[in-house]
């Protein structure tokens, strides 16, 4: 009997994303390994170290299952429903020990990569934030790990793992999700923004009375141009950095016909 051929593998994820997912999961695990006290509070959060790590382990598992084609209900896509789903999931998951959670975070990130490489790049999957391609889902997984990895590093007084390269790899998700997480602050506003990540990508955002359209190229004749250091951009987008403080430190610069629109930009979105 001839052996059954292995399922075809595809280069589903963009260059560098596989390595970034694998390395970020491992660096988060390295923060956790050997920790005996996971009751340490996470700055700016109601979660402890153990709860944040448990959430990461659960989220990585969810992403792996979605990548494998399994349907997973998880809220209705709004930030409020996702927060409620997170709390329900944590309540039903008792593990808070650092070493088992570290192992789960790495194992589920690896499971995601194995599932993704067996899917065609053009396939769509249903995620907690709507339909996405596998490249956007991989970027979603990375972005989620970077946000909570940053939290864990701060809780432990250790260096975080965000850098310019990883921020660029988060951009496919960020550009996909921005129109889906528009806040009430956008109501009544009509404005055209050009966003430039220093040394990296640029994109445009057009706001028309609560409706946001994102362009993967800079808009012509923007009302306001915002130049931002890449790591600062992601931290502001994820609600981890005060935009006013970033502007005061020169990490955000603005110009254009209506530069006063710049401070309104972060408030147009609710961090997922």
Could you give the count of Cα atoms lying within 13 Å of 79 in the half-sphere of its Cβ?
A: 14
Closest-CA residue to 143 (of 267, 240, 9, 43):
240
Which structural domain, as residue segments, surrounds residue 75? 17-165
Does 145 lie in the same domain as 89? yes
Instruction: Looking at the structure, tell me whether residues 22 and 152 fall in a common domain.
Output: yes
* The pLDDT of residue 6: 42
With respect to residue 212, please indicate whether it lies within any of the assigned structural domains: yes
What per-residue confidence (pLDDT) applies to 73?
73
161 and 186 both lie in a single domain: no
Q: Considering the domain boundaries, does residue 114 fall inside one? A: yes
Domain co-membership, 28 together with 144? yes
- Domain for residue 171, yes or no? no
Q: What is residue 206's predicted lDDT score, i.e. its pLDDT?
A: 97
Domain presence at residue 217: yes
The domain tally of the chain equals: 2
Same domain, 131 and 192: no
Nearest to 252 by CA among 230, 267, 272, 269: 230
Residue 11 lies in a domain: no
Q: Are 55 and 92 in contact (CB under 8 A)?
A: no
Q: Which helix (H) or strand (E) holds 260?
A: none
- Going by C-alpha positions, the residue among 47, 267, 2 that lies closest to residue 148 is 47
Single out the residue of 109, 252, 122, 237 nearest to residue 174, CA to CA.
237
pLDDT at 85: 87
Q: Are 26 and 156 part of one and the same domain?
A: yes
Give me the pLDDT at residue 5, please: 41
Q: Same domain, yes or no, for 62 and 87?
A: yes
Contact of 74 with 67, CB cutoff 8 Å: no
* Residue 34, CA distances (Å) to 31, 71, 90, 99, 207 in order: 9, 35, 22, 6, 48
Residue-level pLDDT, tens digit, the chain, 272 residues: 444 344 444 477 999 999 999 999 999 999 999 999 999 999 999 999 999 999 999 999 999 999 998 887 777 777 778 888 889 999 999 999 999 999 999 999 999 999 999 988 888 999 989 999 999 999 999 999 999 999 999 999 999 999 999 999 999 999 999 999 999 999 999 999 999 999 999 999 999 988 999 999 889 899 999 999 999 999 999 999 999 999 999 999 999 999 999 999 999 998 87
pLDDT at res. 82: 84
CATH number for the domain including 142?
1.20.120.450
């Amino acid at each position: 009997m001839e052996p059954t051929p292995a399922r075809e593998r595809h280069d589903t994820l963009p260059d560098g994303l596989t390595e970034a997912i694998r390395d970020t999961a491992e660096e988060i695990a390295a923060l956790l390994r050997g920790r005996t006290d996971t009751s340490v509070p996470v700055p700016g959060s109601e979660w402890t170290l153990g709860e944040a790590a448990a959430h990461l382990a659960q989220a990585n598992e969810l992403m792996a299952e979605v990548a494998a084609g399994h349907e997973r209900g998880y809220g209705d896509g709004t930030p409020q429903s996702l927060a409620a789903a997170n709390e329900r999931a944590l309540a039903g998951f008792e593990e808070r020990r650092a070493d088992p959670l570290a192992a789960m975070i790495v194992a589920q990130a690896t499971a995601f990569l194995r599932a993704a490489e067996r899917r065609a790049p053009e396939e769509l999957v249903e995620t907690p934030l709507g339909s996405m391609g596998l490249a956007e889902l991989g970027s979603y997984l990375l972005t989620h790990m970077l946000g909570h990895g940053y939290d864990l590093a701060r809780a432990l007084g250790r260096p975080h793992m965000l850098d310019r390269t990883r921020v660029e790899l988060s951009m496919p998700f960020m550009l996909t999700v921005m129109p889906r997480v528009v806040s009430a602050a956008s109501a009544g506003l009509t404005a055209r923004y050009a966003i430039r990540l220093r040394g990296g990508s640029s994109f445009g955002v057009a706001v028309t009375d609560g409706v946001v359209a994102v362009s993967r190229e800079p808009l012509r004749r923007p009302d306001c141009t915002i130049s931002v250091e890449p790591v600062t951009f992601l931290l502001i987008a994820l609600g981890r950095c005060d935009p006013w403080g970033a502007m005061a430190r020169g990490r955000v610069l603005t110009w254009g016909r209506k530069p006063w629109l710049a401070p309104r930009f972060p408030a147009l979105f609710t961090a997922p």
